Amino acid sequence: MLHTLMHSPYYSDLDTLLLLLTAQDDLLLLQDGVLGALEGSRALNRLLASPATLWVLTEDVTARGLAGQISAKIRPVDYTGFVTLTEKHQQQMTW
């Protein structure tokens, strides 16, 4: 399943999201969800402990001026990569 976190992890039900993630899932951080990829943040530590593959949308990172603050442990993806992720997963859930 593709999970997309579009809201700040501090204003989302991150606990439920983390409970649902499996090793077959991809989690894409976009819009204000990119705040979850900030190096040293509590949200990042919790997300990295999940079994899912983590992605962050580079255009949203750049739009928020956060390029130098994003963890290298989360894979960057552009809009073309976002489309590839949606094609990979028939089911999607937005958070």
Residue 76's pLDDT is 98
Instruction: Give dist(CA 45, CA 84) in Å, integer.
Output: 26
Residue 64's pLDDT is 97
Top-tier CATH class for 2-94: alpha beta
How many CB atoms are located within 10 Å of the residue 73 CB? Answer: 11
Phi/psi of residue 57, nearest 5 degrees: -80, 115
Whole-prediction pTM value? 0.95
Phi/psi of residue 88, nearest 5 degrees: -70, -35
What does the pLDDT look like over 40-90, one tens digit per residue?
Answer: 999 999 999 999 999 999 999 999 999 999 999 999 999 999 999 999 999
